Chains A and B, each alone.
Chain A
Amino acid sequence: MTDPVTGPAVPPPTPATELSSPKEAVGGWLQTLRTGDIGSLPIIIGLILIVIVFQSLNPTFLNAFNLVNLCLQIAALGIMATGITLVLMLGEIDLSIGSVSGLAAAVLLVTHVNHGYAPLLAVLVAVLVGTLVGTIQGSIFAKIGVPSFIVTLAGLLIWQGVQLRVLGEQGTINLPPTGTLVRWAQFSFVPQWLAITLAALAPLLYLLLSLLTRRRRAAAELPVTPLWLPIAVAVILLVLLQLVVAKLHLDRGVPWTFVFMVLVVVFFDWLLRRTAYGRKIFAVGGNIEAARRSGINVDAIRISVFALCSTLAAVSGVVAAMRLGFANQQSGSGETLINAIAAAVIGGTSLFGGRTRRYAPLLGALVIGAIANGLELLSLSSDVRLIVTGTVLLAAVVIDALVQRSRTSHGR
């Protein structure tokens, strides 16, 4: 910390000069590492470790076939984790997302199979049920002031009960195996030429936007990032994406549901960081009194966030039901809720509110999905699976608490 009186004033405007060499940038990054801002580094190291462990235990782990399965499996998880990330940003919790996803799956199957709704209409109804549930829970929390933990704990039971009621005596409803819904989730893959094109366009788009921002900053005489940084990131991204696409095309290719999940994650990342609405979510999660005094309608933010979370939970339930081809009384129960929270937290979303890392739900879903998938390949019994999943969640939360403490002591 610089001395408050003799320390530097606001840095004078530096017109478009190269601020730092790669060496200085790495030095600055190491500096932030030491002060407790550990970045996405632990996730990436963790992911590499997981891959090494499971690959050595079962060589089919990195098969193209298994990787495509992994993509299919984590689509629903990533969408649900995106929703819970928004709620965690407020410093709140939603324990009902598993039940809501199960309810949405049940509604989808009952309306489509039993009542003959068109596929799109059935999906829409199921998703709107989620929106309705979230609006109710958010209103009870925001307007009456019941802690979100209690409201959604009650919701966990209530919506599971409604799910059983909706399914009725059948218990399990199967989708027609050649129907549209199953085709969407299980057999829709991005054509190879399109996948390669998209995997090339995404880094290009990133580079273009970075350079445009850089030029605007230079024009406004603000400090700019060194030119090599966005180029390096774009090149790494390009190589990585092309490798993934090539690998997945040794098997069926890139599933559309996975692409859909990535788009959901990217969209909500943009919403959180680049829009006034997202800034309000940050503010409410950071200091509710400050948010209120600056004119933010805190109740509206809370209700809308819970509505978005439940809506995404319902979307996730729909995607899961379409992939599995059925909905039953177990849909959305068990580890669904824990996995989503674990994914959000492992990705770098703080349980204390107001902080999340970029693309946290995607990175977290990759970690949780890889562990679940690896354990399944080893065909371990559910006792081991439960213990491992619980331990991973605990580890993530412990790291979050330690980072928070380190931040406080370093005044970040």
Chain B
Amino acid sequence: MSQDTLFDKVWDLHKVSSLRGGSDQIFIGLHLIHEVTSPQAFGALKDKNLKVKFPDRTVATVDHIVPTDNQSRPFKDNLAEQMIETLENNCLEHKIRFFNIGSGNQGIVHVVAPELGLTQPGMTIACGDSHTSTHGAFGSIAFGIGTSQVRDVLATQTIAMNKLKVRQIWCENQLSNGVFAKDLVLHIINKLGVKAGVGFAYEFAGPAINALSMEERMTICNMSIEGGARCGYINPDEKTFSYIKNKLCAPKNEHWDNALKWWESLKSDENSIYDDVIKVDASKIEPTVTWGITPGQSISINQQIPLLNELSPNDKLVAEEAFEYMSFKPGQSIKDIPVEVCFIGSCTNGRISDLRIAAKVLKDKKVSKNVKAFVVPGSERVANKAKQEGLDKIFKDSGFQWREPGCSMCLAMNSDKLIGNQVSASSSNRNFKGRQGSPNGRTLLMSPAMVAAAAINGKVCDVREFIN
């Protein structure tokens, strides 16, 4: 059993009681909600005649269903309009702070909370969204929950949960030029598998992690769940603290000094005990692309799609399914596979640094005429910053469509969808069958820089040829 890790410290601090069944009752320091997984939870509160216990500790925004072309109200899609109205009414009724479209602070919930300084080390953070693991980048313990647990958090600010085991993923050396956090996390998921993290929290550590910016760290923790780990985190350091400093909701004045002192104490102790430790050599990683229907099915840009006999019996079953669905052949090179749609955005890679690197690749270049390319900033703040820096112009000049913030084609709950069996190069997090809105649509996950390069060439290519 793990001991003295950040996970242990934060868990123990938030433990309210041991429940009769043997699970723990855990206090949730910050609860984030959005329009898709909260309405039924509010409905259940009403049925049980309960109130929101700590309305101040829940913050709402709208992201999944928002259109990214025309955001004027009412939305063209009646169901989407009904969902945003329901959230507006619930927030009003229960006095919950809501960052609506046009507030300047709306966006994907996992982009918004960190950029407002809501996400802080040592907190427990829950949200009805599996990518809540993102917030672990700050040394918080953050995990996705279902709607019944959203109801529990609203009603009690606690949930019943079994304590997770802790696996440290030690990333040695440094990523090389043209290789990004997305490549690192795709590599880790490929190495460990998509279910290795079940029952675990992942602690990402080591020189390669220390060298990452906060936004890159968010990309890593965001995709913990794709490796099966509901929770992923990174010990906070100077980068964490300076990212938070002066943010809207950051501790101010004398509170800042107290916060710093406490945050420093949260790091996993030098002699802490882990349930498991895995080592990864970051310097060996190359730009990585998925070829299949799970985020674990990835290869380096210069590799071939694996042959069936190279895979374990368990992986074979899903690989066969993937070959059939993707219409790719074992042994085929991933390079030069034509792409029809290029999507830059999502809670994984829709932040300002993602837009900057993509714009750097796209500057003075044109998107291939066979490609529909669009960029969806992760939040209104990201969009505004990008405009200040002139990035929107670079994107538009290259042939990218510049859209309004939201989740968009990561999960295609709005009108941004693949058509038929289109192949998309996507900076998002899931390449599941049908994920991007078409039951036959095909998704290749990669870093935003790689998506930009694919957009220019009209096919999968090595971004290092553009930036080195």
Q: Do A and B come from one complex?
A: no
